[in-house]
Structure 1
Amino acid sequence: MKFDLVVLGSGPGGYAAAFRAADLGLKVAMIERHKRIGGVCLNVGCIPSKALLHVAGKIRMADEDAHGVTYAKPKIDLEAIRHHRQSTVDTLTGNLALMAKGRKVEIFHGEGQFESTHSISVTQDNDRLKIEFENAIIAVGSRAIRLPFVPYDDPRILDATSALQLERIPKHMLVLGGGIIGLEMATVYQALGAKITVAELGEQIMTGADKDLVRVFEQTNKDRMTFLTKTQVTDIQASSDTLNVTLKDQNGQRNLNVDAVLVAVGRSPNGRKAGIPDIGVELDDRGFVTTDTQCRTSIPNIFAIGDVTHGPMLAHKASHQGHIAAEVISGHKVDFQPLAIPSIAYTFPEVAWVGLTEIDAKKQGIPVKTATFPWSASGRAIASGITQGKTKLIYDEASERVLGAGVVGAHAGELLGELTLAIEFGATLEDIALTIHAHPSLHESVGLAAELGAGTITDLPNRKAKR
């Protein structure tokens, strides 16, 4: 069997690459080791977790003051919640399969292994197929990092995949790792009734986001979760009735008994798998495949995209890389050189950021200023009872060009579209301030933050007013 392009992996990057290449007239095959296409994100990652976070939001709303409306205590039906999660996944994977069929992308289910720079084998049960190709795209993703002292054979030890199954709700769960994945699942389990403790080795949870945004999240959840930063988990001992966790911080060592531990300490690229290094594809010391701006590896006809390459491990990065790789293979002169890749924690409240952060600016010695509009001054936020939030623009001190942005609050991630576009287009504060934003709306806070920085604001005291 010969193909113009073989894509190894069918996650957001893999299927985007395969479908784009097929649309450009190439004969395409896609190899997926699992029974269903869609990869980690669609099957056991971002999609099912968002389905559960939606349910968590409904539960939380029933507990909040509804300004004259009282709700009965929610009744939790775990089976129905699991059905909602799975039906969401089934709908999307089914749609993907139909689109693959419509584009005549041939799908092979099995373990793919590179045999040479122009051939790959696929093991399906006891059968082994050999596929030849002109070009290949590596889209094998990443895997959860495992820690040597964790007793993974104990069912009370969860990872990002098993936590989605909602087999039971523990009374007290320790989340090992304060990143986005851990905090999103903490949000779900807390809403379902679990006591949550988060242990993070670094100085702050949600590494990568600016501290002022994280502070709003922590303050909002101070009665819902316990956050332990600069804290290392050194051991977990399992007994019949509890998990005894050893914690170490600047004050010394102590123990904590919990009913479950969610291990969410990050992910590692799969660059050393599938025979990738054996055919001469260059990797760095961490196992990432090195690529150029066209997603090409050290082998001219082999490309790599997604989590297995450098940069944030995000589905939307992978899908855009997939388009670029497919177009380059088809003869287009394109490059993957984004100025901004948005990040969103779909927690309560959401924390979202894009472009340069204040942390990055300080590290790189870039002189920036910020303009922050508090949601406590937003008409829509006040009317909706969601004043715990802010919208921040980070801009160049001299040119007032917007270099980054951060938002924390309800639906914060939905405000990043305009801000990402503004960064890509090199917009200034004035460009955003002169763009009419609907009133009252949450996205109006973007325009008001720009007005604050530009000195034209009337909804807050204007520090640049001439008096």
Structure 2
Amino acid sequence: MVVGDASIDIDVLVIGAGPGGYVAAIRAAQLGKSVMIADKSDFGGVCLNRGCIPSKALISAAHQYETMQNGDIGISAEGIKVDFAKVQQWKSSVVNKLTGGVTSLLKGNKVQTFNGEVMFINENEARLFNESESPRYRFKHCIIATGSRPIELKTFPYGGRILSSTEALELSEIPKSLVVIGGGYIGIELGQTFAKFGTKVTVLEGSDTILPGFEKDLTQLVSRKLKKSGVDIHTNALAQGCEQTDKDATVTFTVNGEEKQVTAEYVLVTVGRRPNTDGELGLDLIGIKMTDRGMIEVDEQGRTSIPHIYAIGDIVAGPALAHKASYEGKVAAESIAGLPSVVDYRAIPLVVFSDPEIASVGMSESEAKEKGINVSVGKFPFAANGRALSLNATEGYVKVIANKENGLVLGAQVVGAEASNIIAELGLAIEMGATLEDIALTIHAHPTLGEIVMEASEVALGHPIHIKI
């Protein structure tokens, strides 16, 4: 019971209930800790409510709509239409099922929950508050998992015709036209989705290729599919400003010094995300060490400069990925429980749910060579795979990179149908220290897309069966 303003004792306070926070809370509870998790918004975080899940639902709907319009395999339908309100209703039902699942999992693991803000009082206590209550908690350990939010450009403030990814996912109607500022994974996924629904899309990307950070061989296939869908792509493009009316917005941008303009019903800004380490949380009050970009500095177990306070997810260094946050959440919880867990990002996959999908894990060929490693490389096309042909999904390839001296798998890239699933086998190979022979000698079911991984490994070993080298 709480008497007056007395603090409630808890083993672990988790701030933020996204894919990092709720996983950390459950794991800590499994390890015998009393846990309180607090979030000012919906449990499940941005990923589940306003990012990963709703966007993939829309991507799936758009893909099905496109497939139904394609008569390449002799099946076509007339009068196909999109009831976008129903699509959005279905998307929301998917989100609601998962958010309900998170709440049930927390409850089932005896994790206490609080919907409201958190503010540090000192490095051992925090105030939790909402409109009706403001309890004070004294914790032995704390895990900060407050996530990130879309970066807002001064010249493109959100509102009116200018959208962040959050508003784009909630549109009630399919826009007739859309300018996407930022050709990273969020911009490409959403831009391509709306293009499949019939929106005229223009992508403005500041670097010399869309999806910067991925090898150009991978992104070229996506660029080609985008252009086939009628998407205009401008690389080396710098957005300068925007003029809005009640019906549209005109974006001024430059390409190699030449000024251009494009008008669309909406402008979607996807230029990155900002860590949620500012505001009323009070990190400056307790003196946690941070970078000049607002990221919290942590060690290999997630400890901050205050050893009993941990930080995970988008607020620490590394890519802003839900699965990275969940992984770090487990490590932090296990560290608190005294286990020797440490982070190891060697096998963290990167996935873009574009069309075709892109996935990467471990080192690229160029990264391995820069480290002075003599490599064996195997590349096998989807077009030579029976399952890919039967799916009418022949674009793409699997590329495997290994150490030539011992055959150890170092990395892989996949572009093509189900790349997001195929990459898992390759991530496991890297994690367990597998060799090319381990993969090549593993019997893969036929006909499956998974066979392409085996075939690529055989190419790297120099004895492929189904293509000539």
Kept in 2, the 8 Å contact 1:232–1:247? The answer is yes
Q: CA deviation at 1:151?
A: 4.0
Which amino acid in structure 2 is aligned with residue 210 of structure 1?
E
- Corresponding residue number in structure 2 for 1:168: 173
Q: Please, what TM-score do these two structures have when normalized by structure 1?
A: 0.95
Are 1:436 and 2:443 an aligned pair? yes
Q: Which amino acid aligns with 1:40?
A: V
Query: What displacement does 1:297 show?
Result: 0.7
- The corresponding residue for 2:100 is 94
Aligned to 1:383: 390
Matches within 5 A, 1:67-146: 67-125=73-131, 127-146=133-152
Q: Is the 8 A contact 1:151 1:238 kept in 2?
A: no
Corresponding residue pairs, total? 460
- Contact between 1:17 and 1:322, CA under 8 Å: does it hold in 2? yes
Please tell me the residue identity of whatever aligns with 2:50: V
Q: Deviations over 1:226-274 (max 9, x none)?
A: 2111111111111244311111111511111111111000001123341
Pick the aligned partner of 2:314 from 287, 303, 307.
307
Alpha-carbon deviations, 1:114-143, whole Å to 9, x = none? 111111111212642211111000001111
C-alpha separation in 2, matches of 1:246 and 1:80 = 35
> Could you tell me which amino acid in structure 2 is paired with residue 198 of structure 1?
V
How do residues 21-100 of structure 1 correspond to structure 2 at under 5 angstroms? 21-34=28-41, 36-100=42-106
Correspondence 1:16 to 2:23: yes
Amino acid in structure 2 at the alignment position of 1:324: V
Is the 1:172–1:194 Cα contact (8 Å) retained in structure 2? yes
C-alpha change, 1:143 and 1:151, in structure 2 (3 Å) is closer
Distance (Å, rounded) in 1 between the aligned partners of 2:189 and 2:61: 12
Q: 1:168 to 1:360 in 2, by over 3 A?
A: farther
Distance in 1 separating the partners of 2:11 and 2:57: 37
Return the letter of the residue paired with 1:72: E
> 2 CA distance for matches of 1:75 and 1:337?
47
Distance in 2 (alpha carbons) for counterparts of 1:180 and 1:226: 16
| Partner residue, 1:237 | 243
Distance (whole Å) between structure 2 residues aligned to residue 301 and residue 424 of structure 1: 29
In structure 1, C-alpha distance between the alignment counterparts of 2:134 and 2:292, rounded to whole Å: 31
Distance 2:367 2:277 in 1: 27
Q: Does 1:214 align with 2:219?
A: yes
Listed as ranges, the gaps of 5+ residues in structure 2 are 1-7
Evaluate the alpha carbon distance shift between residue 427 and residue 172 of structure 1 in structure 2; reply closer, same or farther with a 3 A threshold.
same
Residue number in structure 1 paired with 2:162: 157
- The 1:283/1:151 distance shift into structure 2, 3 A limit, reads closer
Letter in structure 2 aligned against 1:182 = G
TM-score by length of 2: 0.95
Paired residues of 1:177 and 1:200 also in contact (CA < 8 A): yes
1:283/1:290 contact within 8 Å kept:
yes
CA drift at 1:50: 1.0
User: Given residue 27 of structure 1, which amino acid in structure 2 is its aligned partner?
Assistant: S
- Paired AA for residue 212 in structure 1: D
* 1:61 CA drift (Å): 0.4
* Alignment correspondent of 2:272: 266
Deviations 1:305-336 (A, max 9, x none): 11111111111111111111111111112111
Q: Which amino acid aligns with 1:111?
A: E
Is the Cα–Cα contact under 8 Å of residues 350 and 411 in structure 1 kept in the other structure?
A: yes
1:275 to 269, 282, 296: 282
Query: 1:309 is aligned with what amino acid?
Result: V
Q: Secondary structure at the match of 2:159?
A: coil
Which residue of 2 is the match for residue 330 of structure 1?
337
2:206 maps to 201
Identity %: 41
Distance 1:26 1:450, change over 3 A: same
Give the counterpart letter for 2:313 in structure 1: G
Distance 2:47 2:235 in 1: 28
| CA deviation vs aligned residue, 1:274-293 (integer Å, no higher than 9, x gap) | 11232111111111111111
**Aligned partner of residue 221 in structure 1, secondary structure:** helix
Compared CA separation, residues 158 and 366, structure 1 to 2 (3 A): farther
Letter in 2 for 1:48: P
Map of 2:5 onto structure 1: none
Counterpart contact for 1:233–1:248, Cα < 8 Å: yes
Q: Which whole-Å CA distance do the structure 1 matches of 2:391 and 2:11 have between them?
A: 54
The whole-number CA distance in structure 1 between the counterparts of 2:375 and 2:252 is 42
For 1:216 and 1:116, how far apart are their aligned partners in 2?
52
Structure 2 partner of 1:422: 429
Decide whether the 8 Å contact of 1:62 with 1:73 is kept in 2: no
Deviation per CA, 1:69-121: give whole Å up to 9, x if none. 22224211111111111111111111111121122211111111111111111
The amino acid of 1:388's aligned partner reads E
Q: Alpha-carbon deviation of 1:298?
A: 0.7
Q: How far, CA to CA, are the matches of 2:180 and 2:366 in structure 1?
A: 25
Q: Which moves more between the two structures, 318-327 or 369-378?
A: 369-378
Contact 2:156 2:242 survives alignment (8 Å): yes
Q: Distance in 1 between matches of 2:187 and 2:44?
A: 22
Against the structure 1 CA distance between its residues 151 and 271, is the aligned structure 2 distance closer, same or farther, given a 3 Å change threshold?
Answer: closer
> How big is each residue's C-alpha offset from its partner over 1:38-92, in whole Å with a ceiling of 9 and x where there is no partner?
1101111101111111111110101212422222242111111111111111111
Range with greater deviation from structure 2 (415-424 or 127-136)? 127-136
Q: What are structure 1's unaligned runs of at least 5 residues?
A: none
Residue 360 of structure 1 and its aligned partner are, at CA, apart by 3.5
| Amino acid in structure 1 at the alignment position of 2:414 | V
Aligned letter for 1:24? L
After superposition, the Cα gap between the structure-2 partners of 1:120 and 1:260, relative to the gap in structure 1 and judged at 3 Å, is same
Deviates more, 1:421-430 or 1:21-30: 421-430
Contact 1:14 1:322 in 2 (8 A): yes
> Is the contact between residue 390 and residue 407 of structure 1 (CA under 8 Å) also seen in structure 2?
yes
One-letter amino acid of the structure 2 residue matched with residue 230 of structure 1: N
* Aligned-partner Cα distance in 1 for 2:459–2:58: 37
Answer yes or no: is 1:147 the counterpart of 2:153.
Answer: yes
Note closer, same or farther for the CA distance 1:272–1:366 as it changes in structure 2 (3 Å cut). Answer: farther
**Aligned AA for 2:66?**
R
Pairwise CA RMSD: 1.5
1:201 CA drift (Å): 0.4
Q: Are the structure 2 counterparts of residues 363 and 121 from structure 1 closer, same or farther at C-alpha, using a change threshold of 3 Å?
A: farther
Return closer, same or farther for 1:69/1:342 CA change in 2, 3 Å cut-off. Answer: same
Q: Distance in 2 between matches of 1:239 and 1:89?
A: 33
